[in-house]
Structure 1
């Protein structure tokens, strides 16, 4: 009986082994590949880079004296916002340190978020009289043009091309554009991107410096958010990410297999975006930013949200014309 049982077991194992060794039927060979993220698409032409064009990208209107909160000049854009009961601001919820949703609290937090609250503070006397609307980079200009938000505070860089459609405050933060890649990937600077796939967020100027490299990347992939770039890299759809250094540092904080490499390949400054032709509101926002520079507010929110970037460079000086 024991001998019969052993023979039966050997036969079963042989059958299993035979099944495992059988070739796959024609046409059924599987290839592992990650699906492309929704909204992802190759960028084939360079957008206008920051600092190019015939305009002065950082020039803005000088601030006026700040009115008492809640007592805005009659007929002004600020009075209309106060009458509406809240300041509507387009922000990010996917850029760590600048605008992100804290998973522990569900609240939007970051440098840009607190800066927007300072504008609400000087309008209403209450920083919480604000409606924060999460928007993608590509939605910033359309939402201002359609008056669906009052302001955009979302790592928004002024360019000559954008100035044709919207107005900007003074620059409140300057950033260098760099590269993030997996450790041990052999990517150390822009020259190593020649045969690589690089991710950027659509609607930003981050693709422009990549096309200006002596040998541009094999593919520049545009996605909806910077977090999508991180997912694309983790899936193997791209080899590197290029964006402003604070944005990249936020991604590195979420994935310690990444590192920021090489020298800067571009630079720009963040400003508040406003509807085109809203001179009074531009002057008001510039007054708030000036107040934040002088009274320590800028430094306080830098320390709270951006200290991981190193010692504070201090707020950039404003450049006023008119």
Structure 2
């Protein structure tokens, strides 16, 4: 028995030695340190793509002062076909997005949609329906705003929508409820101080915005990346996939509030007067919305909303004064 145990132990030892020799004689791994630490650039957000050069188009018809709107009705019980239909439905359908911090965004804790534009829409709903919460939100990209109004899938759009003559050919606007200015957002110490410095740089903009048109017009040497919303621009800037973002200073302030390494720079590229978008032909609703905007200018509500959501921009400049075309 003792001899058998010794034989077994010798066999085990021999097998182990052979395996060890085999392991030692195996060719070394061909994976190098460089391959193990290779950097893979993060993917771009969905629907991101380089902007193509715009085709030359005839200038839009001159509409005079694009910010002039219909005079508001002084009747709190004002009626009309559009207003009556909304009241019969029992809710105001509002188009906006959830990627514009400070103006319209989803609170990460409560899940509710909040912001300056949301508060303005709720004031309209409160006057129209007697309840500020009777609002149904439809989430829209910037490029979808005009189509949603033309198809009347929303009653109004409250989404940092700049009033222009070109847009007024397709939709109607309220009076101006906020005055913004297009500027540039960059990383601190980037060396970019204005639009002249964007030549040869990568700039993120959102499709369907006046910001895109202005960069193409005033700095054609910039390389543009278009995305679906401004939150995507923040991501690609943080990942160093672009050098700058350009849009309204109000939107840029909302992005900068999320990252202490970002700063808004440069002089004003273009004034951006925001209006509530309304389908063409719905003049009764235009007058009603303008009535709400007139009320909140005069009773202090506008300043209260500004101080709640936009104090990061500085002290309240006061509401923009309305201009009427009738």
Q: Find the counterpart in structure 1 of residue 161 from structure 2.
A: 156
Q: Report the alpha carbon displacement of residue 189 of structure 1 after superposing the two structures with TM.
A: 1.2
Residue 298 to residue 52, structure 1, CA distance change in 2 (3 Å): farther
Structure 1: gaps spanning 5 or more residues: 1-7
What is the DSSP-based 3-state SS (H/G/I as helix, E as strand, rest coil) of the residue aligned with 1:206? helix
* Per-residue deviation, 1:40: 1.1
Gaps of 5+ in 2: 1-19
CA drift at 1:19: 4.9
Q: Match of 1:35? A: 43
Residue 316 of structure 1, aligned match among 307, 316, 320: 320
- Partner in structure 1 of residue 152 of structure 2: 147
- Where 1:212 maps in the other structure, the secondary structure is helix
Structure 2 length normalisation: TM-score?
Answer: 0.86
CA distance in 1, matches of 2:96, 2:33: 56
- Work out the CA distance in 2 between the residues paired with 1:299 and 1:23: 58
Deviation, structure 1 residue 236: 2.3
Indicate whether 1:173 and 2:178 are aligned: yes
The equivalent of 2:187 in structure 1 is 182
Match of 2:231 among 217, 227, 232: 227
2:267 corresponds in structure 1 to: 263
User: Residues 54-203 of structure 1: matches in 2 within 5 Å?
Assistant: 54-55=62-63, 56-68=65-77, 72-73=78-79, 75-203=80-208
Between the aligned partners of 1:126 and 1:303, the Cα distance in structure 2 is 22
User: Is contact 1:34–1:236 with CA below 8 Å preserved after alignment?
Assistant: no
Change (3 A) 1:41 1:23: closer
Structure 1 residues 47 and 167 mapped into 2: Cα distance closer, same or farther (>3 Å)? farther
Per-residue deviation, residues 250-292 of structure 1 (Å, max 9, x unmatched): 1111111111111111111000000011111111110110011
Cα deviation digits, residues 272-317 of structure 1 (max 9, x gap):
0000111111111101100110011101100111111101110001
CA distance in 2: counterparts of 1:175 and 1:47, whole angstroms: 27
In the alignment, the residues of structure 2 paired with residue 149 and residue 210 of structure 1 have an alpha-carbon distance, to the nearest angstrom, of: 30
Match of 1:264, SS state, is strand
Contact 1:178 1:244 in 2 (8 A): yes
Distance 1:321 1:226 in 2: 33
- SS of residue in 1 equivalent to 2:257: helix
In 2, Cα distance between the equivalents of 1:111 and 1:152?
A: 13
Q: Larger C-alpha radius of gyration, 1 or 2?
A: 2
Asked if the contact 1:193–1:216 (Cα under 8 Å) also holds between the matched residues in 2, the reply is no
How many matched pairs? 302
Distance 2:54 2:311 in 1: 33
Contact 1:66 1:288 in 2 (8 A): no
Do the aligned partners of 1:52 and 1:159 also contact (CA within 8 Å) in 2? no
Aligned equivalent of 1:207: 212
Moved more, 190-199 or 31-40: 31-40
Whether 2:250 is the aligned partner of 1:242: answer no
| Residues 34-92 of structure 1: CA deviation (Å, up to 9, x unaligned) | 322211122223599xx985112101111111323xxx52x521111000010000112
Kindly tell me: are residues 276 and 47 of structure 1, through their superposed partners in 2, closer, same or farther at Cα, counting changes over 3 Å? farther
3-state SS of paired residue (1:303): helix
Residue 286 of structure 1 pairs with residue 290 of structure 2: yes
